[in-house]
């Protein structure tokens, strides 16, 4: 049962996005819900032998719990994305050289972007986590194309080194997903479902 609204029609529990990502913040703003942002202090290194899907799920939940510990009365969203190339996790490149190597490896390949989201509320004991895998088929990319793209967009803070919402779309042959914002970093269909289950009323 959703919790009652206040007299002003607002949700009674605050909403916190447990992420430092501006992409996730911009996506969550689409829902027209007031929220604050808190950066989780979470080690994102994979465990030995950990599969990309399991890594994304674990980190999304860990981020939500880390922030919920500081905001126990809030509904907290945690999310994580891992690029999955044949079972190997690829993280954010961080610089030009690593981004070049990632795109060289993904050229002509199908990469699964495992985008996980978790919603936690300590006060009510609510916890849900889900994942939205996105199949991305990359074109065959030559060195000049990779260099032009990276110089133009500098996607060094994006898992997989390509921004599908920007110029990176030109590197792709196809995107297959049932949650269209998942590739950008936050699967909003699943997020909305969990927020409702946590008791929030969406506009």
- The pLDDT tens digits of the residues spanning 97-141 come to 999 999 999 999 999 999 999 999 999 999 999 999 999 999 999
* Domain-located, residue 203: no
| Half-sphere exposure at residue 46, Cβ-oriented, CA atoms within 13 angstroms | 20
* Domain-located, residue 6: no
Q: How far apart are CA 68 and CA 163, in angstroms?
A: 29
* Domain-located, residue 92: yes
* Domain-located, residue 99: yes
Q: Which of the four pLDDT bands, split at 50, 70 and 90, describes residue 10? A: low
Is-catalytic flag, 178?
no
User: Would you list the DSSP string of 113-159?
Assistant: EEEEEEEEETTTTEEEEEEEEEEEEEPP--HHHHHHHHHHH--TTST
- The number of folded domains in the chain is 1
Q: How far apart are CA 75 and CA 90, in angstroms?
A: 29
Average pLDDT over the chain, rounded to an integer: 93
Q: Whole domain around residue 79: which residue ranges?
A: 15-197
Q: How far apart are CA 152 and CA 147, in angstroms?
A: 9
Question: What CATH code is carried by the domain that includes residue 39?
Answer: 3.90.950.10
Identify which has the larger pLDDT, 114 or 6.
Answer: 114
Closest CA to 130 of 76, 78, 66: 78
* Domain-located, residue 115: yes
* Domain-located, residue 1: no
- What pLDDT shows up at residue 203? 80
Residues 6+ apart with CB under 8 A from 29: none
- What pLDDT shows up at residue 15? 98
pTM of the model: 0.90
* Domain-located, residue 9: no
**Residue in 43, 80, 84, 142 annotated catalytic:** 80
Q: Which residues pair with 131 in a beta bridge?
A: 116
| Half-sphere exposure at residue 136, Cβ-oriented, CA atoms within 13 angstroms | 31
Q: How far apart are CA 21 and CA 79, in angstroms?
A: 10
């Amino acid at each position: 049962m959703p919790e009652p609204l206040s007299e002003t029609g607002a949700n009674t529990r605050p909403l916190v996005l447990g992420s430092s990502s501006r992409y996730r913040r911009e996506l969550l703003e689409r829902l027209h819900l007031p929220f604050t942002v808190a950066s989780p202090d979470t080690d994102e290194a994979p465990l030995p032998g950990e599969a990309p899907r399991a890594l994304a799920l674990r980190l999304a939940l860990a981020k939500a719990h880390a922030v919920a510990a500081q905001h126990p009365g809030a509904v907290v969203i945690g999310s994580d994305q891992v690029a999955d190339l044949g079972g190997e996790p690829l993280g954010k490149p961080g610089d030009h050289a690593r981004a070049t190597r990632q795109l060289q490896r993904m050229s002509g390949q199908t990469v699964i972007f495992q985008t996980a989201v978790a919603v936690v509320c300590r006060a009510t004991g609510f916890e849900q986590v889900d994942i939205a895998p996105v199949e991305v088929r990359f074109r065959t990319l030559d060195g000049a194309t990779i260099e032009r793209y990276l110089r133009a967009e500098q996607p060094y803070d994006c898992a997989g080194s390509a921004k599908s919402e920007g110029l990176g779309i030109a590197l792709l042959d196809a995107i297959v997903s049932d949650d269209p914002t998942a590739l950008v970093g936050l699967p909003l269909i699943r997020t909305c479902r969990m927020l409702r289950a946590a008791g929030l009323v969406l506009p």
